[in-house]
Amino acid sequence: MTMLRQIVIVSLLNFRNLRQRLWQSLVIVAGMTCVIGVLLSMLSMTEGMHQAQLNYGDPRNAIVVSRGTIFEINSAIPRDKARIIMSAPGIARAQDGSPIADPVVMVGVPTRMKKNGGRTWITLRSFGEKGPMLQPKFHMVAGRMFRPGTHELIVGNLARFQVVGVAVGDKVSLPDGEWPIVGAFATGDMMDGQLVGDTETLMPSLRRKAYTTIQARIASPAAFATFRGALTSNPALAVDVMRLPDWNAKSSADFAKFMRVIVYGVGVILAVGALFACFNTMYAAVESRSREIATLRALGYGGFAVAVSVVLEAALLSVTGALIGASIAWALYDGALSGLGSDVFTLTISPPMIGTAILWAIAVAVLGGIAPSIRAARWTVSEALRVR
Amino acid sequence: MKYIPLVWAALRRKPVRSALTFLSVTVAFTLFGLMIGLNATIELVAQRAHADRVWTFLRFDNSGLPIAVAKRIATMPGVKDSTVMIYFPGYVGDPKNRVFVIMADREYERVYPDQGLTQEQWQAVHKERDAIVMSQKQAALWHKKIGDNLTIISPETTRADGTKTWTFKVVGISEDITQAPAGFIIGNYDYYDKSRPLTEQGKINEVDFLVRDPAQAVSVGQQVDRLFANSASPTLSDTEVSAMSTNNFGGMDVKAITRDVSLAGLLMMLFLTATVIAQSVRERRAEFATLKTIGFSDSALMALVVVEAALPCLVGAISGMAMAAWLAQHLQALMPPNFGLPAPTMSASVIVWALASACAVALASTALPVLRLRRMDIAAALSGRA
């Protein structure tokens, strides 16, 4: 108990005279501000993107792709196979008894980036009859739904932030001429950056004989095994069947890893720099307080209490810096729209990310403060009084 | 020169502090070096884009462009040379180990003289049907040498006999090129095409061609697209220059990111050096007062302080750049295979830029202490009252 009291008293004493070491102490604060500001800004992008990919579509759905498909858009499922797949057991039924399954056509439509005019492709996907039913988050926010059988498209309400020529009323150039955009929708996921048209109208226009994928609502979590078993045991189909969340995780894993290597690589390098700065500052702080430390020791305060107070001071400064950095990143980026290619997503700085930032700050403070604190604790009273 | 011992003495007075300053500057410059190096690479790739090269692919699909389109393009006025291009995707051993082979026809080397293959290597690729040339990076990745076989499983590409296993023979190892950060493999288009089922033969991914007049590149591309607009295979053409200048690595604004990160690094460093030098000057006010008394001019003192700050900065910058150069070579190994960020270039201009930034940081960080020294009251400083 006395030990704890000593720590509290010495630390409070420290914090109170921090003002005398203001500029020095600011090195730690500024250092961590930079580290965490950069780390969280970059993380807000990678994690926002990853989250959007994971939340893509309804988690109750399963996706059927041709066997070995890596990128969704490269899958191909011929019409005859699609019919077999959509009548497989395990699919949920609509009120009229028909299976809730829908073939999807996907195609990249060339367009240009709004920011720099660079070439990019916006994803055009299709809805059949059951399309909206499979996307419960889907709702129109402007204009109207396309009429099945006509050359009309609707657009996600965020697409226009990323690419040109996709506002309601614009026309999109497709093989069968110019298709007007008649409405805008929102789903709250990656579809918000895409175009949607009618499956059976797009197929002949794109001269396709195969759909890209099939999505189906699974009747119950247990029914997935039935559904998958029925499809994969039929060698003629040659398809892979996955739960949509699993498929999303698989397709974004490589890119997420790539991004994380970069982001954490940059973060760690910056943090090591901040660590040296912290070490330096605490070292100087201990020296400038040598007389005070000697007096405390002479009064009977233990070396451990002094050492802990040094680390606590470093932690206080470092966490302050981290919080400033996190606030700056949060103010600049949280909730902001961003995009990668034509994919649009919202940047997020989540509480766990801020937690990570504080952990990093404490780690830097402990690693940087430990050596100076040991030095302070080891001083004998007479030595400490002699340090200039 | 006579100041050097003075500066050295100042730095040695607090060796731990000097060492730590040096280390944190090193770290900051490692990052700075990687960032501006990456930027330099991107600019280099854009600069190396050939103004006369145009890429044509299928507009809405990747199901394959009929080779007839390539033959038609080759006969168009203004087109000098054209080649067909196949990106052959697959994996080695495990689906995670993805590879791509560029299947090249005989015209490919005329359209891509900058691919990094020697004349002999091009001949070797076309002489044996299952031949491939790997770049050094790819050869190292899969532990291959000349004469070895490379077996690729391609779920997307069936052979005429229904199998999906393709075995190639390594006939050459070529230089790597900046444009292909993860390395590359070149194979024989004829072999590829004849190995496919009849219904799939004659389908290609891309027609790449050279125009006679680079100024006409855009308009020739547009002519191609107009020609095929209403065909069964509408095309999309882009000049290499336009594709490369807006090259955004999957849509990332690499330039903005590198700029912000390196600025943050510099800012951190500036703050650190500034406090360290200010502290060092504050502690030695009496010493500086003595120097003034024995006749050192204000500018001499100023030089002393600036050099004292600049030395760890410059040495740190140099070692940081060395570190960055070393990391740049090993960066690729950290990335998932075939997910390459281009390796940062450590060109002379990158190094000059880094050293200039180090000097700027040193100058900026000494501004305040230097001003204080000029205004210093010698008597007060000597008596310890200041």
Q: What is the DSSP string of A310-341?
A: HHHHHHHHHHHHHHHHHHHHHHHHTT-EEEET
Residue of chain B whose Cα is closest to the Cα of A75: B156
Tokens of A4: 């704890």
pLDDT score, position A74: 82
**Is the dihedral angle over the CA atoms B210, B215, B220, B226 positive or is it negative?**
positive
Q: Is the pLDDT of residue B207 over 90?
A: yes
Q: Per the CB < 8 Å rule, is A261 touching B248?
A: no
Confidence check: pLDDT of B248 > 70 = no
Contact between A306 and A377 under an 8 Å Cβ cutoff? The reply is yes
Q: Taking 70 as the threshold, does the pLDDT of residue B62 lie above it? A: no
pLDDT at B296 exceeding the cut of 70: yes
For B385, which DSSP code? -
Q: Given an 8 Å threshold on Cβ–Cβ distance, is B27 in contact with A269?
A: yes
Q: What is the pLDDT of residue A46?
A: 85
Residue A1, pLDDT above cutoff 60:
no
Give SS3 for B98. Answer: strand
Within 10 A of B104 (CB to CB), how many other CB atoms are there?
Answer: 26
Judged by CB atoms closer than 8 Å, whether chains meet at B272 and A280 is answered as yes
Q: Hey, CA dihedral for A330, A118, B59, A259, is it positive or negative?
A: negative
User: Side chain identity at B345, as an amino acid letter?
Assistant: T
Label residue B337 by pLDDT band (50, 70, 90).
low
Is the CB of B17 inside 8 Å of chain A's CB atoms?
yes
Start-to-end CA distance of chain B, whole Å, equals 30
Alpha carbon dihedral A225, A228, A234, A239, in 10-degree steps, equals -160
Question: Does B332 have pLDDT greater than 70?
Answer: no
- Cα dihedral B37→B42→B48→B49 (10° resolution): 180
Contacts of A206 in chain B (CB under 8 A): 60-61
The lowest-confidence range among A299-303, A361-365, B83-87 is A299-303
**CA-to-CA distance for B53 and B209, rounded, in angstroms?**
6
In chain A, which residues have their Cβ closer than 8 Å to the Cβ of B328? none
Mean per-residue pLDDT for A175-193?
A: 90
Considering CB atoms only, which of A30, A117, A269 is closest to B271?
A30
For the ranges A90-99, A173-182, B4-13, which has the lowest average pLDDT?
Answer: B4-13
Residue A10, pLDDT score: 82
Q: Is A209 on the interface with B (CB under 8 A)?
A: no
Give the per-residue pLDDT at B334.
67
> A-chain residues within 8 Å CB-CB of B60?
107-109, 174-175, 206
Start-end of H helices in B100-239: 108-111, 119-127, 136-141, 189-195, 217-228
**CA–CA separation, A40 vs A53, rounded Å?**
19
Residue among A34, A53, A283 with most chain B CBs within 10 A, to mutate: A34
Mean per-residue pLDDT for A111-118?
82
Whole-angstrom Cα distance, residue B185 to residue B358?
41
Residue A192: its H or E element: none
Average pLDDT over residues A54-79: 88
Residue B55 binned pLDDT confidence (cut-offs 50, 70, 90)? very high
CA-to-CA dists, residue A3 to A10, A43, B110, angstroms: 11, 40, 80
- The mean predicted confidence, pLDDT, of chain B is 86
Q: Which of residues 127-166 of A touch B (CB under 8 A)?
A: none
Dist CA A232 CA A226 (whole Å) = 10
Confidence bin at B346 (pLDDT 50/70/90): confident
Q: Between chains, do A284 and B155 touch, taking CB under 8 Å as contact?
A: no
Using an 8 Å CB-CB cutoff, list chain A residues near B63: 76
Query: In chain B, what residues touch A207 (CB-CB under 8 Å)?
Result: 232
Alpha helices in chain B (DSSP H): 4-13, 15-48, 67-74, 108-111, 119-127, 136-141, 189-195, 217-228, 240-245, 254-283, 285-293, 298-334, 348-374, 378-382
Q: What digits encode the pLDDT tens for the residues A293-351?
A: 888 888 888 888 888 888 888 899 999 999 999 999 999 888 887 777 677 888 888 89
pLDDT at res. B46: 80
Mean pLDDT of B104-121: 91
DSSP state of B75: T
Q: How confident is the model at residue B101 (pLDDT cuts 50, 70, 90)?
A: very high
pLDDT tier at A243, thresholds 50, 70, 90: very high
- Are A27 and B27 a contacting pair at CB < 8 A? no
Contact B103, B85 (CB under 8 A): yes
The answer to whether residue B167 scores a pLDDT higher than 90 is yes
| Residue among B348, B276, B364, B325 nearest B23 (CA) | B276
B residues 37-66 lying closer than 8 A (beta carbon) to A = 59-63
B238 touches chain A (CB under 8 A): yes
**What share of chain A in percent tops pLDDT 70?**
99
Pairwise CB contact (< 8 Å): B272 & A272: no
Residues 276 to 305 of B: which have CB under 8 A from any A CB? 276, 278-279
Please give the Cα distance from B239 to B27 (Å, whole number): 40
| Cross-chain Cβ contact B60/A31 below 8 Å | no
B13 touches chain A (CB under 8 A): no
What's residue A348's pLDDT?
86
Is residue A142 predicted with pLDDT exceeding 90?
yes
pLDDT bin (cut points 50, 70, 90) of residue B246 is low
Of these ranges, A147-151, B241-245, B250-254, B354-358, the one predicted with the greatest mean pLDDT is A147-151
- Identity of residue B288: F
Q: How far does the CA of residue B322 sit from the closest CA of chain A (Å)?
A: 15
Give the pLDDT score at B71: 92
Please indicate whether residue A89 or residue B98 has the higher confidence score (pLDDT): A89
Looking at the complex, report in whole angstroms how far the Cα of residue A136 sits from the nearest Cα belonging to chain B. 28
Place of tokens 């008649």: A182
Residues B180-195: b if buried by 16+ CB within 10 A, e if exposed: bbbbbbbbbbebbbeb
Contacts A–B by Cβ distance under 8 A: 138
Query: What type of residue is A253?
Result: A
Mean local confidence (pLDDT), A222-234: 92
Mean pLDDT of B250-270: 78
Q: Is A303 exposed, middle or buried (0-12, 13-18, 19+ CB in 10 A)?
A: middle
Name the residue of chain A whose CA is nearest to B266's CA. A34
| Range from A45-59, A209-223, A332-346 carrying the lowest mean pLDDT | A332-346
| Whole-number Å distance between alpha carbons of B78 and A45 | 44
* pLDDT at position A297: 83
CA-to-CA separations, B345 to A260, B36, B323, B350, B359, in angstroms, rounded: 22, 8, 13, 8, 22
Give me B107's structure tokens: 């015209």
Judge whether residue A384 has pLDDT over 80: no
Token pair in block for residue B142 = 């899969």
Residues A8, A11, A14, CA angle at the centre, nearest 5°? Answer: 150
Torsion sign across C-alpha atoms B109, B111, B112, B113: positive
Name which residue leads in pLDDT, A322 or B299.
Answer: A322
